[in-house]
Amino acid sequence: MKISTPEAQGIPSKALERFADKLKEQKLPVHSILMARHGHMIMEAYYQPYDKEKLH
């Protein structure tokens, strides 16, 4: 998959930051976030103790 900035795909980076902050505030058991738009990866985040290399 191609990698792009959120802005290049029509989404403000600040909106994605707010989305991630809301998940953290709600203390949801999120392991990772991968977001794509128009065939481009625009967000990839991992939360401890998980990371890109750690399968679970």
| Average pLDDT score over residue span 45-49 | 90
The amino acid that residue 34 corresponds to is L
**pLDDT tier at 3 (50, 70, 90 boundaries)?**
very high
The answer to whether 42 touches 9, Cβ cutoff 8 Å, is yes
CA atoms of 26 and 21, how far apart (whole Å): 9
User: What is the Cα 52 distance to its own chain's centre?
Assistant: 12
Token duo for residue 25: 């505030």
Share of the chain above pLDDT 70, in %: 98
Contact of 41 with 35, CB cutoff 8 Å: yes
Task: Provide the residue ranges of all domains of the chain, joining segments of one domain with +.
Answer: 2-46
User: For the chain, what is the mean pLDDT?
Assistant: 93
The stretch 38-55 carries a mean pLDDT of: 91
pLDDT value at 41 more than 90? yes
pTM: 0.81
